[in-house]
Structure 1
């Protein structure tokens, strides 16, 4: 895991981050001119603050070489653009984590690579589906409906589940699902082979490609060209089938594709 190596480095970087984030005005100014340069009138309209307050914030940011004035317009310096880009990423990461707070907090995330943890903001538009005591199958039924409309599926499959296997075989026998890629552990593969129906329907099916990995899988990921779903294990190593993250935007699909390729090696 990448870390800042020394305490002085940590202290210096923390002061720099704190300088920006502890001032709402400095933060708002950087965000306001992130995409387009603006003059004082523009900033006064956008931020609804008096000129004196805005000018004070602009002067502070100019002193730190984060913005510059070109004629009457203020724009980010290269340093300012880099900092603001990463500040936006931090804010979006924070939003994504808080949006799915119980999902992330209650599960084992050790099998998700560090780079994808850093880019959790890509899942900020995802939704979370939970089963309830009155509807124990809610999450599975939503998942079942999702994959039933897919023509291609890629899955990291960490569990031996007869319900999932029967559903996949049913879809493969139909006309909709044209190809299925599975990443499984040796243990799961051996268990599938012991069941003649699953062995014939999955392992010996020409529509199915299976990749076996040495790693102990603790993520259940399903990808198509239209959606991704993710479910995880509890911290006691038991799989949780009652909570699913579902993403349908391009950013979520990219995040899931990176995770899938990570396990493909």
Structure 2
């Protein structure tokens, strides 16, 4: 019975979203009214559309209980607000994907759980840094630049990389880096334990917390209080260090923190 109810709810939500997206005017009106109520003149000034076209859209939305009119002012109903929230997320998600489509299209996304893929709108301001034939280390150098300015780092490290270890240890020894939380799989940790240097500098370092997982996580994630950085694997399972997504906005850092917690809890 509950499955039938969920199915019907999903069907109704799809119908509502389809109803909006088949008309750019209806969608635009909901977005314009999202933050505050407005009169016809204010809506027209924002949308730069004829009054007759806007009024037609307003009437349709009012008939579907998505907006309401109080004297001269239009505002969203509760249903309208919920629907507008999801539409804005959808638009931002699309923008986020489209902005860095080379990055998302070229890589294996299976390391990012579905509920995090649905929140890619939180990375809509992310910047893609790519290496070039004239500078093969451009992405890696940008990463080192970012972590070198950080006091605390949290990292999902899916590969055994002496290059990364070298720079991280250098930051720890110079007291530039005060705290490091590292999530690695069992295979990587066992390899680290075989190295006296890594054992002493990382595993036994009081400022380093190492978390172990038996999963082979398909993403390289780093975040601090000031930035997040993400690199992925190619679809053939090879790690790609030539492209990196970076973002210094709170929304992206929050997304990263929650993604790290998702894996660390498992």
Give the TM-score, by structure 2 length: 0.94
Q: Shift of the alpha carbon at 1:9? A: 6.8
1:250 corresponds to which residue?
Answer: 250
For 1:89-132, what per-residue CA distance to the aligned partner results, in whole angstroms no more than 9, with x for missing partners? 00000000111111111111112122111100000001011111
Contact preservation (8 Å) 1:66, 1:76: yes
Contact preservation (8 Å) 1:4, 1:10: no
2:81 corresponds to which residue?
Answer: 81
1:52 corresponds to which residue?
Answer: 52
1:104 corresponds to which residue?
Answer: 104
2:181 corresponds to which residue?
Answer: 181
1:5–1:203 Cα change, 3 Å: farther
Question: In the TM superposition, what are the counterparts of 1:59-208 in structure 2 within 5 Å?
Answer: 59-208=59-208
**Aligned residues, how many?**
263
CA distance in 2, matches of 1:8, 1:145: 51
Give the TM-score, by structure 1 length: 0.94
In structure 1, the gaps of 5 or more residues are none
Contact preservation (8 Å) 1:152, 1:179: yes
1:19 corresponds to which residue?
Answer: 19
CA distance in 2, matches of 1:203, 1:80: 53
1:32–1:4 Cα change, 3 Å: farther
CA distance in 2, matches of 1:155, 1:24: 42
SS state at 1:216 partner? coil
Q: Shift of the alpha carbon at 1:51? A: 2.0
